[in-house]
Amino acid sequence: MAEDQTKEADRILEEALERAGARDPREFYRDRLRTLKDADPEGYQSAVGYYRDTLIPAVASGEADPLEAWTEYGRTLAQAVARGRTVSIDDSGRAHPYE
């Protein structure tokens, strides 16, 4: 993963966050990575590999929507840290299978 590619992915994410008025997830995800590193070094390496080989290239190239890509990375981290299932919550508060 090239430093230029990471900078471009960061720039694209920051622009998308500003347009959407969304909160930057990166610090929260760094905390999850620290937890994962201590609890499951193999899972940590897998999450870092996903970041390096999937997330950053997809966002930097414009192949993936940055907010969707980072949300998927968060889901990947959550699955690595804790058991459970991913759901979507609608406006009424009801849970539905995640797509």
pLDDT band, very low/low/confident/very high, at 16 (cuts 50, 70, 90) = very high
Chain-centre distance for alpha carbon 76: 7
Summarize pLDDT for 79-90 with one digit per residue, the tens.
888 888 889 899
In the prediction, which pLDDT does 1 show?
56
The SS3 assignment for 60 reads helix
In the prediction, which pLDDT does 83 show?
84
Summarize pLDDT for 45-76 with one digit per residue, the tens.
999 999 999 999 999 999 999 999 999 999 99
User: What's the CA gap between 16 and 96, in Å, rounded?
Assistant: 26
